[in-house]
Chain A
Amino acid sequence: MSDLVQVVLSGLVTGGIYALLAAGLTLIFQVSGVVNFAQGALAAVGAYTCWSLENQHDVALVPALAFTACGLFLLGCVMQAILLRRLAGDLASSVIVTLGLLIVLEGGIGIAFGYSPPARPLSLPLPDGQFNLGSWALSQQELVLAAIPALLVGALLLGLRYTRIGATVRAVAQSARGARLVGIRVDRVRLGAWGVGAILAGAAGILIPSASTSPISPGMVDPYLLSAFTGAVIGGLDSLPGAAVGGWGLGIIQNLVSYYTPSQVTNWGIGKDTVIFALLLAVLMARPTGVFGTPIQRRV
């Protein structure tokens, strides 16, 4: 039983990263209609900026995080303003363009910092030791790592629900035209959404090296990105809590499948990734807006 708890906890850690990426993705999608593959690159930029500040410029953790957050916000805004306004709702192309951006940005990081992991890690002050809950001994590190995304996403959701700005964002997400009619500056909302989305991605990027206890590298976000997308789609791209839940859910499902699949089956080509992608296809075909999204009325 305690093994199951452990599997779920680890799933929550990975799922938390998926949820962060998915939340940013969904926010951007709802507000500006773009599926932003470049979230992965933004995460890597965030991670490397923080790493560089800490290790190459001797900045302390908190200021480094603050600086990274601001930088990412700006970067997100820039991306929206210069690049994506031009696309003006061409959904299909946006996917490809952001994919292109992902490649360019990751390549840029590789050129600037080298492709192999640097010797010094991106370290966060995480507690060691175990936390005992009854008969279960859980790693404190994992608990903290699982909690951080929950706090961030929770804050985002609460902010959207209960603040004025949040209402504005939701209005734009529902209908940009309608929002404009009531005087909302849609452009500004979009810039803001991209900025926040970038920050969420950066948070994910900073957490990844600690979650996976391995050094940073330009492509380290890619496996997470793929799963994050899958989770977001399954959960529903037009529902932010849905997408986040999708991210967490996927993290847990991946671990459960991995745990309960006998190793021989992997040799036939069936593994946890196979299950995940099959699930993605199934959801897209049956209910494209995801488990929590609003079903599309239009039937072709």
Chain B
Amino acid sequence: MKRAKNPWAWFRRCPWLLPALAALVTLACLPLISTTSFAVGFLDPAGTYAILALGLNLLIGGTGQFSLGHAGFFAIGAFTAGILSTNYGWPFWVVIPVAGVVAGLFGAALGLPTLRLIGPYFSMATLGFGLLTAEVLGAASWAGGRTGITLNYPQLGAYTFDEVSFFWVILGVAAVTLFLVWNLRHGATGRAFVALRESDFAARACGIHLARYRVLAFTISAVLAGIAGSLFANWNGFLDASESATSSTFGLPASVAFVAMVVVGGLDSTLGSILGAVFITAVQYWLQDRPELAEMLYGASIVIVLLGAKGGLAGLPAMVYTAWRNLRARGTGEARA
């Protein structure tokens, strides 16, 4: 939508711009006061997984199906980054988009044949893919196999990023991602997704091409997962998939965590996915001494959200508001909302 260049018209049209900028600036200040461990334990992963969650949200929102294999795309992105930086010395700002593209190719390849699958079958197909990827990357010697891949710190010209300053890169990518995904979801594409999800029969009757949109959703989510993976490779510095299917970074537990992020954040909300990613990362960070408890907690939150609080974290304000209104209504006998 390119209209007049009058900046004030712009602000009026997009009232969200000011608070968004404010949030961005606040977040950007965080690395200045953060310790390395906080960055590594919370900031970097939260940002990275937020990107992935946004993509996954697009897929789940677009097709109504849950993918249990996104750790596979994440891993593809991470290992592409690892191999390209270590073996070929490519700089990180080239590697990251390339990783996204590679993951996206796999996404398109997987998205096409799984078009017709519904519900649990789709989930299991994606599960199969995720596990397959984890197995191959875990055992193959060209993927570091048993020893894993160690990356150097990412460099931009003369400046070397460390775990803390890399957050700015992550923040930048996340902001761009949020912008793109938001526009997609709230634009024509987003409406097509919702239509397809509600009733693909009716949607197709209106001329919305099922295959195209589903594959699109899948591919975009794969690209974002791949980008997230390559970011992870850069700030974590070490890739090891030898635990393959049970790996907590690249295997089934990771895929479950990703789905948890989207679900807990709120399936219908874009911002919710970011909230979900932050929440899950926070849980992992504060319970890092007891990782089993952390897993239990987000297993429980998945169950709780899906069974009772469908709006997730993003829906929390609405839930609270409704509950408050109902409490007030009890006195006067008004009908419930």
Check whether chain A touches chain B (CB < 8 angstroms): yes
A residues with a Cβ closer than 8 A to B are: 29, 35, 83, 86-87, 91-97, 99-104, 107-108, 110-111, 115, 219, 222, 226, 229-230, 233, 237, 266-271, 273-274, 277-278, 280-281, 284-285, 288, 296, 299-300
**Would you call the interface of chain A mostly helix, strand, loop, or mixed?**
helix
Among B33-41, B180-188, B295-303, the stretch in contact with A: B295-303
Counting chain B residues whose Cβ lies within 8 A of the other chain, the interface size class is 35 or more
Q: Which residue of A95, A103, A219 contacts B299 across the interface (Cβ within 8 Å)?
A: A103
**Besides A103-B299, A267-B139, A280-B128, 12 new A-B residue pairs in contact (Cβ under 8 A), listed by A number:** A83-B303, A92-B119, A95-B120, A100-B300, A100-B301, A101-B303, A103-B295, A103-B296, A104-B299, A269-B138, A278-B128, A284-B128
The answer, among A92, A97, A102, A104, for a CB contact under 8 Å with B65, is A92
**Are A100 and B120 also in contact (CB < 8 A) when A95-B68, A222-B246, A300-B115 are?**
no
A-B contact pairs, 9 of them (CB 8 A): A35-B124, A87-B307, A95-B120, A100-B299, A100-B300, A107-B295, A268-B140, A269-B138, A300-B200
Given A87-B306, A103-B256; A269-B119 close (CB under 8 Å): no
| A273 and B307 form a contact (CB under 8 A) | no
- Give chain B residues whose Cβ lies under 8 Å from the Cβ of A274: 132, 135-136
Residue B125, interface by CB 8 Å: yes
A285 CB contacts on chain B under 8 angstroms: 113-114, 117, 125
Nearest A residue to B131, CB-CB: A277
In the bound complex, CA of A108 to CA of B129 (Å): 29
* B52 in the interface (beta carbon within 8 A): no
Using CB atoms, name the residue of chain B closest to A108. B296
Residue of A at shortest CB range from B214? A300
Contacting pair A97 B245 (CB below 8 A): no
- Point out the residues of chain A lying under 8 angstroms from B306, CB to CB: 87, 93, 96-97, 100
A29 to chain B: which residues have CB within 8 Å? 120
CA distance A63 to B85 in the complex (A): 61
A96 touches B259 (CB 8 A): yes
In the complex the two chains form, is A268's CB within 8 Å of B141's CB? yes
B137 touches A104 (CB 8 A): no
Whether a CB of chain A sits under 8 angstroms from the CB of B202 is no
Whether B42 is near chain A, meaning CB under 8 Å from some CB there, is no
A92-B65, A96-B259, A104-B300 are contacts. A277–B125 as well, Cβ < 8 Å?
Answer: no
In the complex, what's the smallest C-beta–C-beta distance from B121 to chain A, in angstroms?
Answer: 5
B31 at the interface (CB under 8 A from A): no
Ranked 10 nearest A-B pairs via Cβ: A103-B299, A269-B140, A91-B119, A100-B302, A107-B296, A277-B132, A269-B136, A280-B128, A285-B113, A35-B120
Q: List residues of chain B with CB within 8 A of the CB of A35.
A: 120, 123-124
B280 to chain A, nearest CB (A): 12
CB-based contact A277/B292 at 8 Å: no
CB of B296 within 8 A of CB of A104, answer yes
Q: Is the CB of B123 within 8 A of A95?
A: yes
User: Shortest distance in angstroms between B23's beta carbon and chain A's nearest beta carbon?
Assistant: 30
**A97-B292 contact given A91-B120, A92-B119, CB 8 Å threshold:** no
CB-CB under 8 A from A230, the residues of chain B are 128
- Judged by a CB distance under 8 angstroms, whether B76 is at the interface is no
Q: Scoring B residues 249 to 260 as 1 if CB is less than 8 Å from chain A, else 0, what string do you get? A: 000100010011
Convert B30-58 into 0s and 1s, putting 1 for each residue whose CB lies closer than 8 angstroms to a CB of A.
00000000000000000000000000000
Complex contacts, B260 vs chain A, CB 8 Å: 100
